[in-house]
Amino acid sequence: MNRAFKREFDLYLDRIRNRTTYNKKLGWLLNSLSSTYFPDYLTFGSFGISPTQKYLNNTISSISPFMWKHIAWPKILKNMNMRFLIPYAAYMKNHSKHIKDIDRLEQKYLDSLYSILEQSPSSIRDSGFTDFFYFISKTLSIWAETNDLSLDCFASQKIEHHDHCSEIYYEIHNEIKAHKNRFLITLLLCTRSNWIDCAEPSVTPFLNQFSSEINDFVDSDEQLSYFKDEHKFFHHKQFDSFLKEKKQTILYESDNCGEFFFDLMLIEYLLENGHTVLLSVKEKPFLNDVTLDDLSHILKTYSFETLETYLDSKKLKIVNSGSAVAGKYVYDVSKDYKKSVKEADIHILKGQGHFQTMPMGQKILKSFSPFHYKKPILYIMGVKADIIDFSLQSVFKNSPKRQSLFLYFYDPKNPMTYPS
């Protein structure tokens, strides 16, 4: 296992050191293959929880990479270990209690991984969080395959969320479909449902009150009025204008199970209005994200005759993204996904992971520099995690508040859509 980890770590470092070379392979995604493209908003060497910490980290990283490696990197690694590595390994362990010596296997995994990361060269400062989590996902897969562990450690929660959200879906479906503000309500529910996330400690309380919240949206014009007018971070009007230009082909990149039922409400709206939807799901489990197997289960278990009709007519197509990380890693996606990007007129990126791993651009000397994707993007998410908060702050002068809705239409060809 150690040898396999080291091999993946060497590939990880190669991607960091030779970013320009890897970017040359992104012609399917980008209009201009700029060496400045970066699949993240943040790097380890420029990240900071406070402005002071960010300044110190960036300064030490630039002036003395050697000092950064010995002062900043151990603290960053400890933080990543406590907030992600140990909890995720524990999820997998708890889902594999039947495996003999599972506690020892878990500790062996963490020790092996930590010993490699501890010896990281100073160039690790140029890594993004996206690069790091892709490497971690590779080591988790190796650990699982070596010891016959299941990567689908949230399987039971996914089924619970499916059952809960399917009940809500059937209760409200016809009423929302007939509502005069159907489009706006559908977008609101689609965005708000992003809180159905196993990584969120408040997911159960949220599910328990979500029906009541939905009733408020449906029954009260006052609740909708805040979003009806121009809203800086809820671009329903821009998206509506885009849809009215022509019959669009939409690459819809899904996120969590449970919330997927509210994605289906938006997908159904798009299909009914003559658009084509390419629905992208993950190949392998990660957290409670929708996989090909999950989608197959949903279509077989719950009644979606309308969707079956659209599948038969090819107006709705299922796409295997090839991904097994939060969002995706653009350097490692399937041929099916690349083909879908070429066919699509727009990406709909659902969830924080997709926002993080396919960034709008970056600030250079206080000026926004866009990443020139071939197609516009609609980001749909809730602002929940620290890393997303920091990412938004890196490009917006006045970024959206924590726990707020974020539905943002971004067109690299239109500076009016750039973050400001």
| pLDDT tens-digit readout, 84-127 | 888 888 878 877 777 778 888 888 998 999 999 999 999 999 99
Whole-structure pTM value: 0.94
Give pLDDT tens digits for 150-180: 888 888 899 999 999 999 999 999 999 999 9
pLDDT value, residue 202: 86
Asked if residue 230 has pLDDT above 70, the reply is no
Give yes or no for residue 350 having a pLDDT over 70.
Answer: yes
Number of domains in the chain: 2
Residue that terminates a domain, selected from 112, 147, 182: 147
Q: Residue 34: pLDDT band by 50, 70, 90 thresholds?
A: low
Buried-exposed string 307-334: b where 16+ CB fall within 10 A, e elsewhere:
beebeeeebbbebbbbbbbbbbbbeebb
Check whether 418 has a pLDDT greater than 80.
yes
User: Cα–chain-centroid distance for residue 359?
Assistant: 11
Same domain flag for 244 and 293: yes
pLDDT for position 90: 82
Query: Which among 129, 147, 165 is the end of a domain?
Result: 147
Pick the last residue of a domain from 87, 121, 147: 147
Instruction: Take residue 102 and report the two structure tokens written for it.
Output: 């599972």
- Rounded CA gap, 328 and 357, in Å? 6
**Do 341 and 382 fall into the same domain?**
yes
- How many Cβ atoms from other residues are within 10 Å of residue 231's Cβ? 13
State residue 287's pLDDT score: 86
CB 257 within 8 A of CB 288: yes
CA distance 161 to 169: 12
Q: What is the domain-level CATH number for residue 228?
A: 3.40.50.10880
Residues 25-37, mean pLDDT to the nearest whole number: 85
Neighbour tally for 185: CB within 10 Å: 21
Q: What is the pLDDT of residue 101?
A: 81
Under a CB-based contact definition with an 8 Å cutoff, are residues 266 and 166 in contact?
A: no
pLDDT at residue 282, rounded to an integer:
94
Ranges 58-62, 103-107, 280-284: which has the least confidence: 103-107
Same domain, 185 and 127: no
Are residue 237 and residue 305 in the same domain, yes or no? yes
Query: Average pLDDT, stretch 43-51?
Result: 88
Q: Locate 224 and state its tokens.
A: 């909708």
In sequence order, what are the beta bridge partners of 406? 381
If asked whether residues 304 and 343 sit together in one domain, one would say: yes
Same domain assignment for residues 399 and 284: yes
Contact 153, 94 (CB under 8 A): yes
Domain match, 227 and 345 both: yes
Q: Give the three-state DSSP class for 252.
A: strand
The answer on pLDDT for 268 being more than 90 is yes
| pLDDT over threshold 90, residue 380 | yes
Q: Is the same domain home to 70 and 182?
A: no
Question: Is the pLDDT at 80 greater than 70, yes or no?
Answer: yes
- Is residue 139 located within the same domain as residue 165? no
Range of the domain at 201: 155-417
User: Do 302 and 328 belong to one domain?
Assistant: yes
C-alpha span between 22 and 2 (Å, rounded)? 26
pLDDT band at 300 (very low <50, low <70, confident <90, very high): confident
pLDDT attached to residue 91? 79
Rounded distance between C-alpha atoms, residue 59 and residue 65, angstroms = 10
* CA–CA separation, 118 and 32 (whole Å): 36
For tokens 């890897």, what's the residue? 22
- The mean pLDDT value for 380-389 works out to 94
Taking the CB of residue 335, how many other CB atoms lie within 10 A of it? Answer: 10
What is the pLDDT averaged over residues 257-278?
Answer: 96
State the pLDDT at residue 223: 72
Whether residues 22 and 132 share a domain: the answer is yes
Give the CA count within 13 Å in the CB-facing half-sphere of 420: 5
Q: Is 66 exposed, middle or buried (0-12, 13-18, 19+ CB in 10 A)?
A: exposed
159 and 142 co-located in one domain? no
